[in-house]
Amino acid sequence: MKLLFGRPAGLTDINQRYCPGCGHGIVHRLIGELLVEMNIREKTIGVAPVGCSVFADEYFNCDMIQVPHGRAPAVATGIKRTRPDCMVFTYQGDGDLAAIGTAEMIHVAARNENITIIFINNAIYGMTGGQLAPTTLPGMRSTTSVKGRDVVTQGYPIKVCELLNALDGPYYLERVAVDIPRNIIKTKKAIKTAFQYQLDNKGFSLIEILSMCPTGWGVTPVQAKKWIAEVMANYYPLGELRNRAKEAK
C-alpha cells in the first residue's frame, strides 16, 4: 500500500490531545511541514508555552523547551544569543503572549530579536476552561464574562500586531487565520516567510493566527470557522502590518 498523505517528519508520532475543531493541530502541521521543507528541523529549537499548546514540546520533532507562562520570548532570547545559528521559535497563545507575557513580548520585539513568534489568537483561555482572554471580543461570552465582555469593567481586547507595529523594532508582522484552506495556505506562507527572515538574520517576526476554539466558544467546529470569518476577522483584520523587506525595496 502506498502512503499518499501522512504526518510530516517535523511532527512526532504522538497523538495530539487537542479538541475536535481546534486550530492548534493545523498550525502544528504547517510548522511541522516547514521544518522539513525548509530543511531546518535539525537546527531548530522550539519554545513551548503554558496553555493548551504546553505539549508542543512533545509534538514538534525538533529540540524543544517548555517554559514559564508568558516567558517564552525571554527564553528564546537566551537560546538565540547562545546559538545564533539555530532557528528559534516560540509558540504562544493569547493569554501567554498578550496577558502575562506582555512585557516580554514588547521587549523582544523592540530588540528586534532574531526569533519568530507563532501567536495563536483564539480569543479565549482554552486550557483553564474558557475564561476571558486579553483578546476576547467586546460582548463575547467567557466563563469569567458570562454576560459577554463588558468593556466598561473588563476593558478592551489587545490587538497584538497593531500594538507591536507601533514599535520600530519588528521586522515582520502579519495576521492570518486557519479557518478555511485559502487562509491556511496563507498562514503557511507567512510562517515560512518569518522563518526565512530569521535564517537571513533579518530579525523579529510575529505571525498572529486567528484560530478556532469550539470548546471554549461553546460552538460546533463548523460554527467556529464561520465565526472567525464573520466576526473575529472583522475585529482583527487579516493582512501584513509590517514587512521591512518590502519597505526596503
Partner 1 sequence: MAEKELMYGNHALVEGVIHAGCRFFAGYPITPQNESPEYMSIRMNEVGGVFLQTESEIAAINMLFGAAAAGARAMTSSSSPGISLMQEGLSYIAGADVPVLVVNIARGGPGLGNIAPAQSDYFQAVKSGGHGDYHTIVLAPNSVQEMFEFPRLAFELAEKYRNPALILADGLLGQMMEPVEIKGEPIDPKTLPEQDWWLTGCKGREKRVIRSYDLRPGKLEEWNWRRWEKYQKILKNEQRYEDIKIDDADILIVAYGTSARVAEAGLRIARQKGLKVGLLRPITLWPFPSDILSELSKRIEDILVVEMSLGQMIEDVKLVVEGRSKIHFIGHPGGGLPNAQEIYNKILEIRSKK
Residue in this structure with the C-alpha cell 463575547, named with its chain if needed: 140
Least distance to partner 1, CB of residue 1, Å: 28
Among 7, 36, 38, 43, binds partner 1 (CB under 8 A): 43
Least distance to partner 1, CB of residue 103, Å: 5
Site for partner 1 in 59-88 (CB under 8 A): 60-68, 71, 74-83, 85-87
Least distance to partner 1, CB of residue 32, Å: 12
Least distance to partner 1, CB of residue 92, Å: 13
Residue closer to partner 1 (CB basis): 34 or 47: 47
C-alpha cell of residue 88: 528559534
Q: Which helix (H) or strand (E) holds 208?
A: strand 205-210
Least distance to partner 1, CB of residue 176, Å: 27
| Per-residue mark of binding to partner 1, 4-33 (x: CB under 8 A) | --------x---------------------
How do 116-121 and 239-243 pair as beta strands? unpaired
Among 14, 103, 151, 245, binds partner 1 (CB under 8 A): 103
Say how many C-beta atoms besides its own lie within 10 A of residue 177's C-beta: 24
215 neighbors 22 (Cβ within 8 angstroms): yes
C-alpha cell of residue 162: 497593531
Residue closer to partner 1 (CB basis): 28 or 149: 28
How do 172-177 and 239-243 pair as beta strands? antiparallel
- Residue 34 makes contact with partner 1 by CB under 8 A: no
- 48 three-state secondary structure: strand
**Comparing C-alpha atoms, which of 30, 56, 53 is closest to residue 122?**
53
Cα dist from 107 to 70, 101, 186, 202, whole Å:
12, 10, 27, 17
- Residue 41 makes contact with partner 1 by CB under 8 A: yes
How do 63-66 and 239-243 pair as beta strands? unpaired
Residue closer to partner 1 (CB basis): 12 or 243: 12
C-alpha cell of residue 174: 502579519
- How many residues sit in the footprint of partner 1 (CB under 8 A)? 38
Contacts with partner 1 by CB under 8 A lie at 12, 41-45, 47-48, 54, 57-58, 60-68, 71, 74-83, 85-87, 103-104, 106-107
